[in-house]
Amino acid sequence: KGTIVAGTTGDTSPLYLPYDLLTEGDPHWLQREADIRQLYNLNNINFPSRSPYFAIKPLFDERTMYGSVSILVRTVQDQYFAWKASGTPPEENAAASITGDQVSLLALYLSCIYIFNQEFSVGTLGKSFICYDGTSTDTSIILDEFDYYNKFKPDSRADQRVKLREFYDLFSRVTPRNFLQSTTDAGNVLAALDPGYKANLDTLVSPRLLILCSLLNDLGEWVRSNISFGFINLGYILCGFDSLVSTMGDVVNFWKPY
């Protein structure tokens, strides 16, 4: 059990982490859990010390998750239609770590969907998709607009329906407006936009899930740098603890009480 001393989430509930989860694969932990508990009971020591220990606790924030995704999707949609209209590819201001390519946000986004569709089955399309459809271009203003509806407290069911309709109008688009309509579209568009990058993806021999998690981490880094710092790494949700260790392992190892 860990006691929160200080943190950034505002959540001070205790942390309960299994011993094996913390020590498995780490050669520095030589004692079994039972041995450590026995030492703790027999010795008059303050164990463990608070100073060298810290915890990474997940925080889900609707504002920085759904709000940021709506901005991300709108940006990608705009880049695609601008490219088709002008013939000029979007700026290459994103990185795909697993291939070493400098790519556009559109290409990185497409590659995430392309690899995802190779690994997982996809259901039928819904009537709409999340996408900011307003006129604001300032990220903070858009997130404030999202907050308004997310925190709105209706006075009646009629008021609730009105605000819900306004929210859908502002933060979603009907599916026919999406340039991605089938499971093969992402790969086909990526091949036309950045054939070299797609070829590099296709030659990778790593498991598809690991490739996807790497791409999602790169996408998350772009969003945190350009839209909202609080955006969660989607790879953590899809790939679990292994994805967290792959990106935060160096930080965790730095603070381990060797």
**218: nearest Cα among 86, 71, 85, 107:** 107
Non-local (6+) Cβ contacts of 48 within 8 A are: 257
CB atoms closer than 10 angstroms to residue 188: 14
Q: Is residue 252 part of a domain?
A: no
In the predicted model, what is the mean pLDDT of the chain?
82
Q: Note whether 107 and 213 are same-domain residues.
A: yes
Helix count and strand count (H, E) for the chain: 12, 4
Q: Note whether 222 and 164 are same-domain residues.
A: yes
Q: Note whether 68 and 47 are same-domain residues.
A: no
Lowest average pLDDT, out of 40-44, 99-103, 148-152, 196-200, goes to 40-44
Range among 27-31, 38-42, 100-104 with highest mean pLDDT value:
100-104
Confidence band (pLDDT; 50, 70, 90) for 247? low
pLDDT digits (tens, 9 = 90+) for 35-63: 878 877 787 665 554 444 555 555 666 77
Q: Note whether 92 and 178 are same-domain residues.
A: yes
- In contact, 212 and 116? CB cutoff 8 Å: yes
- In contact, 113 and 180? CB cutoff 8 Å: yes
Element (H, E) at 189: helix 185-193
Q: Which residues of 8-33 are buried (b: 16+ CB within 10 A; e: fewer)?
A: eeeeeeeeeeeeeeebeeeeebeeee
Q: Which domain holds residue 123?
A: 62-246
Q: Note whether 33 and 66 are same-domain residues.
A: no
| Domain final position from 15, 40, 57 | 57
Q: Is residue 251 part of a domain?
A: no
User: Quick check: 202 pLDDT over 90?
Assistant: yes
Spatial distance between the Cα atoms of 88 and 102, rounded to a whole number of angstroms: 16
Q: Is residue 257 part of a domain?
A: no
**Count of domains in the chain?**
2
CB atoms closer than 10 angstroms to residue 189: 21
Q: Is residue 258 part of a domain?
A: no
Q: Is residue 254 part of a domain?
A: no
CA distance readout (Å), 45 to 3, 15, 37, 41, 150: 17, 21, 12, 9, 48
Q: Note whether 34 and 82 are same-domain residues.
A: no
Q: Note whether 45 and 66 are same-domain residues.
A: no
Length in residues, the chain = 258
Q: Note whether 225 and 149 are same-domain residues.
A: yes
Q: Note whether 46 and 74 are same-domain residues.
A: no
pLDDT digits (tens, 9 = 90+) for 141-162: 998 999 899 888 888 999 999 9
Helix (H, G, I), strand (E, B) or coil at 241: helix
Q: Note whether 141 and 31 are same-domain residues.
A: no
Q: Note whether 16 and 104 are same-domain residues.
A: no
pLDDT digits (tens, 9 = 90+) for 123-136: 788 899 999 999 99
Q: Is residue 255 part of a domain?
A: no
Q: Note whether 197 and 108 are same-domain residues.
A: yes
pTM for the model stands at 0.72
Q: Is residue 67 part of a domain?
A: yes
